[in-house]
Structure formats: structure tokens, C-alpha cells
Structure 1
């Protein structure tokens, strides 16, 4: 009897697929076109297999993530911060400054345009510590579905790094502003959640759509004291619905003036944000909801400035505004 059971078990096991599908990222077709943060479009399989989970388990962001510090003393060459107090004391990090944390998107790195646009704008506006998180080992995977999972584990590692940095330096969470783009937009929110939602300000710049529609870990309005999202390519690269306490839909959230591609639209979020830091422009008109914003049918008397370095505590809602095709993009 025992040999028969062994043969039966072997036969049953051999009948199973070698790489079984375990879940779907989103409802809808298995194969969908997804845009990365460089604006390139890829046909992606959105069904997660056993091999995906095995590859995801190999990503160790607590080891592979790299943290680059930029300050007015070193605006062009980032200093790596290692988790060592003696090393930290050799950098230009100052515990009394505010700290801005930048999180790039899919197939990006510390040298991405997102960082290259925002670092000089931030340092010109205020004497701050800018920490660029390079999670490119997790974000650079050719598999978008794996990147979405890596985003979550990377967020936990970044939160742990921030806790260490505060303990080592005497800084507090009240000094932080986290900014993320694309998949990094969702990661920014997840970092805030891992920090008990005690970060004052989190900004999501066109957070990613595919794989995040029904995702329990997507950007949430209560991830920080104040959360703001800027949508510039809704329904394609970017999330369509409102996610933050305040959501801005420049030009209805798609087809930015001066752009001729979805990749350009997707990138305009950080260009607009950079300008908002220096000019304080971009006045949005309140909308009934995000449907009204994408239809450009917002007629309220209530207005709010988009972006900037100061959280707009006490404000919430959806806002619409129009921009120019060239810099300066703000119409006031």
C-alpha cells in the first residue's frame, strides 16, 4: 500500500505547474502596457507567480538601499550616509535642519531626472538636508510586478533608516518631508505608515496606477499629518482617483501643455513641484470631486496653492488649475 501512495503522490505533484500563478496585481487583462519613470512603455505580465515571490524574497533593501545626502555645502556631489554614528559626523548632515527625502520610481536611480530637478530647487529655496534614496536594486527589476512588492519592503527599510538617523543625530520626525514619484509616490506613503504617520508632510507626484488600483498598501490620505498628490498622467502612468488629503489635477490631470507624450506628462509633476518651491505659484480651484477635475468643470470660489515646502494643514479636497506650455509653468 505504501509504495502505491508514494507513486500516487509523485504523479500528483508532477501534474502541478512548475511555476503556479498565485495572485493578480489588479483586475483586468493579464498582460497590460505599463510605463516606467523614464517614460518607456513595457508590456507586462500582471499575474504573480511562485518564481516572482522567490525573487522578491531575495531583495534585501536594508543592505542594498543607498542614502545620498545633499546640502548647500555639497549641492552637486552626494555624500553616502552609512548607519554609523562616526561616519555620520563626517558628513554635512545637520540635525537642526529640515530633512527632505526623495523616492524615485520604476527603473530610476539616484541619478534620475526626478532627483536632478528637485535637489537644486530644494536647496535654493531653503537650507535643508536632502536625502536621496537609491532603491534601484529593487526598482530596476525588469518585472513590474516584482517592483511593486519591492516598493513595500524598501519603504520599511527607509523607515528604519530614518529611525536610526533620528536616534543618532537627535533629529525628530517633525522635521521631515517625503516626496515620491511614480511607484515611489506610493512608497513615500508607505514610509509614512511605517513611521506611525508622524511625518508632517508627504507629497506624491503622479503615483503609479497599474498594480495599485486595489492594492491595500497604496498611498493613503492619512499617511502623514498632511498629504498632497499631483496628478499629471491619470489613467495611463498615473493613478486616476484622489489619494491624498489634497489632490491637484493640473490641466485635468492629463495632456500637459507643451507635452506630446505620456512620459512627458508623467514627468511634469516634479517640474511643477520644483517651480512651486521657488515661485509659490499654481493656484488651484476647488472641485466637487476628481470627476469634475478631469472634466475641467470646477467653479468654486475656494482656491489653494499647489506644492511648496509648507504643509497646508487643515485643508482637504480636489483642485484644478491650468499651466503654461513652457517655464514658468504657473499662471499664478
Structure 2
């Protein structure tokens, strides 16, 4: 696919995105190449949600020990940290951040941190957002290193990003490795294409950014990048527009949002559904033909897209989805029983404390986890997978 010049892309996507009601606009329209100076602490916010504050965020700040100690952050619970896409916000209703947060908290005991960087991703300054990705990525990496320095195990971190947020996740993963910290998993939801096309000088997400990088492609060639860039790349319905169901929406009233945004946002919609239904999206390995998204030699199954992805898998995978919720061909109307690990009582840092939790505390946690694995009674079809998901994600 031949793409127009970067300046033309910026202007085209500015017009289309600004006209779509599914996107968030936080700034007046203006030049694609003009924006404002970055103030990291003000422009990049870390919003913590837990089972104790599901609807009201607690703001965390880099290097603020006291605020961390006074928050509901639980050092024994897994951390899902999420970066929204261009023109979204972390607080927007029916947008990716809040939907993902709710899904994780329904799943079980999690720390969920939504990164609100909407000040840096506002319409129409797309090219500025791309230029500032390294800044955002480094700031996120510094925040994650802060948590690790305070005793939070890096092996509990699952970093997830949509569109431009996926590229920020990649930058953060690269930076952390310079400090000898390698994330266990990065999930990229339809990484952005404009200004990241094949001959672009912008660095993009790569398999080296985490121990396991899984990517879901849904809008390849338009807003999403179809190029494989993870250990496992999933191409539902061929990975390109229009995804099933998008053409059935009310095009007469909302054609811009449907043609431009619907397929792109399907990536996070599929992933959000998979949090409760980890076996809802069975896929098969497939060697692609010269046209991406077309299977030439279908392989075996036993692989799942989304939360249930096994971090040991490698290659490109294809699957079909339904055209409405539930999107997964194997998803069930009801959510499964929580699969999150049941870890010991919260370890809370005292103000100005810097030491790690004691070995005995973690030993107790491992014993309780073992007892939980032996005693928990969940849906028979999901039991084996639940153990795999959580063990793999925490190792």
C-alpha cells in the first residue's frame, strides 16, 4: 500500500478524526506541526484503580513515596498498566481506558494504572504526539523503575497500549532494559501506522521490548500497522478494515467514525472481551501469502488471542470473529470465574520506606497461591488455562 507524505497524512487524519464522535478532542484545531511544550508531571498522569476504588482514581506521581504508601496500590497484586490512543482520554466514557479497567477489576485482584496522556495526544497534533513518544516512553519507564525500586516485582507488570499507546509501550520497554529491567509482557493493540510506515525513521515496537510481545492487528493499512512486530501477531478477520459489524452500524449518521475508527477500536474491544473470556478467541498459525491477512497454509489450533495468549508461542495467527458482542467465536454469554491469582494480604510501604518485602512474606504468598490452585473450583473448560495464564504472566 502506497501512503501519502507525512504532512498529508497528518492533515487527512486530523480532518477524519476530528469529525468522528468516537474520538476525544481536548484542544482547538490548528496546525499539525504546532503544539505546546511538554510538562511531564502535568501532561502524563498515572491513575490508579483497585477493587477498593473502582470508580475514583488515585493519582500517583514519580518518586512520590508518601503518595504511593497512602494509596491502595497492593504490592502483592498483578499490575495492568494501559496507554490509550490518539485523541482519547483515560476518563472518557465508553472509551478504551475505562472499559479495560473495568474488565480487569471484574477479573479479580489487580492494580490497574491508566495513563492519561491526552494532553499530548489531542486533535489535531498527531505528528507532535509521534515526535513526543520517546519522551512519554522514558517518563513511563522512570515511573515503572520507581515502583520496582520500591519493591514491586517487575515480573507482575503487564503493559498494554492501543494505537500510539502501543508505540509508547515499546519505547518504555527499550528504556527499562538500559536499567537491566525487562518487562514480562507488552500487548500492542493495533499499533499506529501513520508516520510509522516501512521507510519511516521512527523507532517502533519490536519483539525485543519485552519477554513476550503480542500484537492484535485490526485496521491494517489505514490507522493500524499491518507489519508483524511481536513474538505473536494476530490478524482477526485478516487484520484489516472493515472488521465484521462495522458496516452494519449507522453509516448514514456516522460514516466518518465507522470507516475510520470502527475497525481500529475493534483491537481493544477484542482484548477487553478476552480478559473475561481468555479462550474466547481461538486462532491458528498460518503462513501469510503475499497479501497480508490471507492464509496460505493454515496450521494447527490450540492458540488464543488476547489475555489467553501463551507467551511461548511464536509466529503469525489468524482467526474469525463475530460481528457483534460477544466477538469471540468461543466466548460465552457469562463471564468466567476470576482467574487472577489470590495473593496474600497487602504489603503496604511505610512513608519513605525503600526496602523490599521480606523473603518470608513472599514465601507465604507462594504457599497461599499453591493452596488456591489446588482448591479453587472454576469452570472446567477454563481451569487449565487459568493456571497457565497467571503463572506465565507472573514469571
TM-score normalised by length of structure 1: 0.82
Alignment map for 1:35-184 (pairs within 5 Å): 36=17, 58-83=37-62, 84-112=64-92, 113-140=95-122, 142-168=124-150, 170-184=151-165
Q: Which consecutive residues of structure 1, in runs of 5 or more, have no partner in the other structure?
A: 1-25
**1:277 partner SS:** helix
Higher relative contact order (CA 8 A, sep 6+): 2
Q: Distance in 1 between matches of 2:191 and 2:213?
A: 13
Match of 1:304 in 2: 303
Match of 2:208 in 1: 222
C-alpha change, 1:314 and 1:292, in structure 2 (3 Å) is farther
C-alpha change, 1:231 and 1:102, in structure 2 (3 Å) is same
* 1:184 shift after superposition: 0.6
- Pairing 1:268–2:248 present: no
Q: Give the stretch that moved more between structures: 298-307 or 85-94.
A: 298-307
Runs of 4+ aligned residues of structure 1 deviating over 6 Å after TM superposition are 41-46
Q: Distance in 1 between matches of 2:141 and 2:305?
A: 26
Match of 2:321 in 1: 323
* 1:60 shift after superposition: 2.9
Bigger Rg, which one: 1
Match of 1:7 in 2: none
* 1:96 shift after superposition: 1.2
Asked if the contact 1:298/1:320 (under 8 Å) is kept, the reply is no
C-alpha change, 1:154 and 1:245, in structure 2 (3 Å) is same
What is the aligned-residue RMSD (CA, Å)? 2.6
| Cα deviations by residue, 1:14-58 (Å, 9 ceiling, x for unpaired) | xxxxxxxxxxxx874641222659756999988x6xxx5xx57x2
Q: Distance in 2 between matches of 1:41 and 1:111?
A: 10
Q: Distance in 2 between matches of 1:295 and 1:38?
A: 32
* 1:292 shift after superposition: 5.8
Q: Distance in 2 between matches of 1:317 and 1:248?
A: 9
C-alpha change, 1:180 and 1:90, in structure 2 (3 Å) is same
Task: Tell me the number of residue pairs that the alignment of Structure 1 and Structure 2 aligns.
Answer: 298
